[in-house]
Amino acid sequence: MGQAMLPLLVRAGHRVSVWNRSAGALENVEGVYRLDTPAAAFREEVVISMLADDRAVHEVLLSSGALQGAAEQCTHVVMSTLSPALMEHLQTLHDQSGLALVAAPVFGVPAVAGKGELNILAAGPEAAIARVQPLFDVLGKKTWHLGHRPVYASIAKIAGNMMITQAIESLAEATALTRRYGLDAAPFVELMTRTLFACPSYQRYGQNIVEGRYEPGFTLALGLKDIDLAIAAGSDKGLQLPAADIVRSRMTTAIAQGLGSQDWSAFSSIVTSGPPT
């Protein structure tokens, strides 16, 4: 995702410095300055972090001490999908260091990011969001302001991703039902995604199910991470999420069958497999 964002920022005239855990991923990226350490990024005016999960954030930003030498006026924009607990911990650390923190996870796959058409969920101090809004205008088609606490954007992204997985589950169960009665999935999915469920998630993942092709836009392994975040976040507030539990079970089974690197909609094959009766 970060790799898809870089050319947009460069073409918009921004000076972009980059550090990545896998240095080889930057070999074909032009117009950027390579940094030796993540700490060096925090000496810049704005830092955007796009890390895979909570563990990566702990390794790259916390255990390394990257925040400790940050420039006084640095604004940190977290565009990863992180647990609410970690986001609130980051808020405490940033407050102690006098750093502005903005949470800005996104909806959209890398291909959408490459076109600058992401939906950006922004939460944090209004002044800090205003400072980085020109960057959001380059990266996204719309910025959704969700309040002054960064955790608001974090939980909105987790809840939204949970809804996407449940849309996939719904499509998988519905097409399994129609196929058992001899109705091909293609006309059924076209009907539903042009009428009652005419939205990108149903359309994109419905086609994946129809074609039985799961080229990764967002991998199943990362999708399981986000469902785990949703279930844990609910548990922290005494809330059960039974539909999410079903999705997690499907995802876990699919990953055990070697599908973890495929698109997260690949867990639908656990539901739809099997011949019509």
In eight-state DSSP terms, residue 58 is I
Which residue out of 115, 141, 157, 237 is catalytically annotated?
157
Helix (H) / strand (E) containing 40: helix 38-41
Q: How far is CA 53 from CA 80, 189, 213, 256, in A?
A: 7, 33, 26, 20
**Amino acid at position 271, single letter:** V
Helix, strand, coil shares of the chain, percent, nearest 5, are 55, 10, 35
Tokens read off for 35: 């940094």
Catalytic (active site) residue 157:
yes
Beta bridge partners of 145: 122
CB 157 within 8 A of CB 81: yes
Residues catalogued as catalytic? 157
